[in-house]
Structure 1
């Protein structure tokens, strides 16, 4: 049994306050590699990951996301890196594939000492004309759907305590 991996999964929390400093290239590469090893339906690897560290692009994505959410604050919580996960809609398991990538990214971030959070609304962002223009600018071609944003950075403050696990989380059929 690999207790270290299980501990990473137990200790991971959503980070909602980041230091402004950019993450190291080494940490970024480790997280991205973990994302590429996520399970996908029939091994088709329908997702792609766009790593965004350009401050102007991060700000533009944040603004788009906030508009969809209907809020007047940064939904990325000041994270300096945004990993956009998209998946090819021609794969019947594209949504599940993209979710597996997101999960690997989040757990890998914890393993390398980063804070992370899954931010929704990527679907709506990249269905918009502004989102489609960004994909074209980035050279992303194909029929992709936004699955989520994995925001990354160094924790600004302490991790919150975990919520207790609910009763009846697991049912056994033997």
Structure 2
């Protein structure tokens, strides 16, 4: 699959099998995330790779609590890549968003399904999220959660794309 095919065929998946993502595929996806463009090359984002099911389930429960739900907002995905970025870098939200895009597109190219799950900002402002960061030696005050890239194998067919809206592009020639 070439890059343009990957970009135009990737879809967000919201139902996953429990099969783990192979470590070599996970490592390649993470590496692709580290090559996302960042403002002035500052590399403000960090990625936390979670494959431990206990920690994954705790994070999912925290995310669900913020959302006001008791379901699994990670849709059964066995792996979660959390992207955070340094708050003191003016482009940190954009930088982290580009990392998320690279992660999801790389996953698709490797046959791994993905979806961006929100509420990372709120999670890592809570004591439980801050404790997770501090346990990894990360200054919880320095980083803001950008998103969760959930990963796994789709349980069923990937969704069909929605038609592109007519006024998506304006040209000045």
Fold-level match, TM-score > 0.5? Answer: yes
What residue in structure 2 maps to residue 171 of structure 1?
170
CA distance in structure 1 between the aligned counterparts of 2:138 and 2:47, rounded to whole angstroms: 10
What residue in structure 1 maps to residue 153 of structure 2?
154
CA distance in structure 1 between the aligned counterparts of 2:19 and 2:158, rounded to whole angstroms: 18
What residue in structure 1 maps to residue 64 of structure 2?
66
Q: What are the equivalent positions in structure 2 for 1:29-44 lying under 5 Å apart?
A: 29-44=27-42
CA distance in structure 1 between the aligned counterparts of 2:81 and 2:139, rounded to whole angstroms: 18
1:93 aligns with 2:91: yes
Match for 1:114 among 112, 115, 125? 112
CA distance in structure 2 between the aligned counterparts of 1:138 and 1:82, rounded to whole angstroms: 16
1:144 aligns with 2:155: no
- Which segments of structure 1 move beyond 4 Å, counting only runs of 4 or more? none
What residue in structure 2 maps to residue 28 of structure 1?
26
What residue in structure 2 maps to residue 4 of structure 1?
2
- Higher deviation after alignment, 134-143 or 45-54: 134-143
CA distance in structure 2 between the aligned counterparts of 1:138 and 1:154, rounded to whole angstroms: 28
C-alpha deviation, 1:71, in angstroms: 1.1
SS of residue matched to 2:74: coil
Structure 2's unaligned 5+ residue stretches are: none
For this pair of structures, how many residues does the alignment match? 172
Q: What are the equivalent positions in structure 2 for 1:126-145 lying under 5 Å apart?
A: 126-141=124-139, 143-145=142-144
CA distance in structure 1 between the aligned counterparts of 2:9 and 2:154, rounded to whole angstroms: 14
SS of residue matched to 1:67: helix
TM-score normalised to the size of structure 1? 0.97
CA RMSD of aligned residues (A): 0.9
Structure 1's unaligned 5+ residue stretches are: none
C-alpha deviation, 1:140, in angstroms: 1.4
C-alpha deviation, 1:141, in angstroms: 2.3
